[in-house]
Amino acid sequence: MGDIFQSGTDRLIHDFLRGPGLRPEPVIGFTSHGTVMQNGAARRFSAADLTAIQIASGDADSRGRARASTTLGEVELSVRCYAGSENRLVGIRMPERGCPWAAQEGRRGALGLVGSSREWTRTVRAMKRARATSRPLLLIGESGSGKTSLAMGAPYGAGPVPAGVAVIDAGSFEVIGARRWFERVRGALQQSMSVVLCNIETLEQRQLTGLRAMMRATPHLRRITLTATVGERAEAEPFALMFGAHLVEVPALRDRLDDLDVLWREFARRERPAAALQPDPAALEAMKRHDWPGNLRELQTVVAHAFGRRSRGSVTPEELPAHIRRSRSPGLMVQVEQDAIQRALLATGGNRTRAAELLGISRATMYRKAKSFGIPA
C-alpha cells in the first residue's frame, strides 16, 4: 500500500512540512501516536470526516487508492505509508464542482438524539427552556457532537427530520457566493417554520451583521437555531450577544460515555434495522477509553466498520478499527504534537500564522498550544 519509508513519524512530519502541506488540494498526515496534520485546504473537513478518512486510508489498495464518505461528499484518497502502518500521508481529491457540499444542506441524517446521561439530560432540559421563548437558540459544541441534529428534529428522541425545517450551512457561503447565500437564507426565513443556520463561526463580521439584520426582520413565529463549532463557551458568547440568542452547550461524546451502549444500538438499527449487532463488554470498555475526537459521527463510522466484519452477534475489540483498539500514551502524543509545532515554526521562520496554516489549526489554537508547551514567541 504505497511506498514504505523507514523513518516513521519523523519522516512523515518532515515530508508534510516540505511539500504536501503547501499544495492547493487537501493533504492530511496521520501518525501512529494519534496526531493529525492538515494543510489549509483540508481544514474544511470536520473531525468526524478526518476519522472517516483515516479509517478508509487504512483499507487502501496496493496502489494506495481508497475512497471515503464525508460530509462534503465522497472523496478519492491517495495514500503513502511510512514505517508503522498507522503513519500515513493522504492526498484528497474533492468531488466534482457539480456536487459541492452546499448541495448537501438539509440532507444530513439526525445523529444521536438518544441518551440518559447526566450531561445529555442537562442539554435536553436547557433546550426545552430555550424553546419556550421566542429568542433564537445558539447550539455550540465540537464537530460531530449532534448540534445540527438537535436543531433539526425534536431533541427528545430519535426520528426523521420534521417537515418545514430549512437547514443552511454557513460553510457554503464561499462556494455559492454572498448573493445566492443570502437569498437562500431570506427564502428560508420567509417560507419555513423552523430555520437552522449551521457553522456561523465561519462567517466574517460583515456577513454576521447582514444575517442579524435579516433575522430581525423575520416574524417571531419563526423558530431560528444557530450552531457554532467552538472549543470553549467564551468563543461563542459574542455570537449569543450579537443575535440575542440562548446559548446551549452540546456535550462531546467523551463527556457522555454512559450513553455509548444506547447510541451504538441506535446507529446499528439505522445501519441495518433487522440486524442485532452489539459490542461485547471488552469492546465497550475499549471504546470508553477512546477520546472520540469525531464524536457521534465517528461512532457512526465505527458501527458501519463493524458491520463490514459481521452482521450480527457480539463485536470483539479485535473487530474495532485500529485507532480504537490502540492504547495511547498521552505524554507521547503531547511530545509528537510539540515537535510538529516546533518544526512548522522552523519551516516558516517563526511565523505563527503561517505555521498554523501548515498544520491545519487555527491561529488561536497555535498560540494556546505554543504557550502551553513553553515555545517562545
The CATH classification number of 8-99+329-372 equals 3.30.450
The C-alpha angle 79, 361, 88, rounded to 5 degrees, equals: 15
Q: Check residue 153 and give its pLDDT.
A: 65
Binned at pLDDT 50, 70 and 90, residue 4 comes out as very low
- Model's pTM, two decimal places? 0.62
Query: Other C-beta atoms within 10 Å of 139: how many?
Result: 30
Is the predicted pLDDT of residue 289 greater than 60, yes or no?
A: yes
CA distance 126 to 131: 9
User: Half-sphere exposure (CA, 13 Å, Cβ side) for 327?
Assistant: 0
What topology does CATH give the domain 254-325?
Helicase, Ruva Protein; domain 3 (1.10.8)
pLDDT in tens, 189-201: 888 888 999 999 9
Q: Check residue 71 and give its pLDDT.
A: 67
Q: Check residue 109 and give its pLDDT.
A: 35
Please give the mean pLDDT across all residues of the chain. Answer: 78
CA distance 168 to 352: 33
Q: Check residue 240 and give its pLDDT.
A: 95
CATH number assigned to the domain with residue range 103-251, chosen from the 4 options 3.40.50.300, 3.40.1410.10, 1.10.10.10, 3.40.109.10: 3.40.50.300
Which residue in this structure is represented by grid cell 438539509? 106
What percentage of residues in the chain have a pLDDT greater than 90? 18
Binned at pLDDT 50, 70 and 90, residue 103 comes out as very low
Is the predicted pLDDT of residue 154 greater than 50, yes or no?
A: no
**77: which residues sit within 8 A by CB, 6+ positions away?**
53, 56, 57, 60, 65, 66, 67, 68, 90, 91, 92, 93
Report yes or no: 39 and 22 within 8 Å, Cβ to Cβ.
Answer: yes
Structural domain spans, the chain: 8-99+329-372, 103-251, 254-325
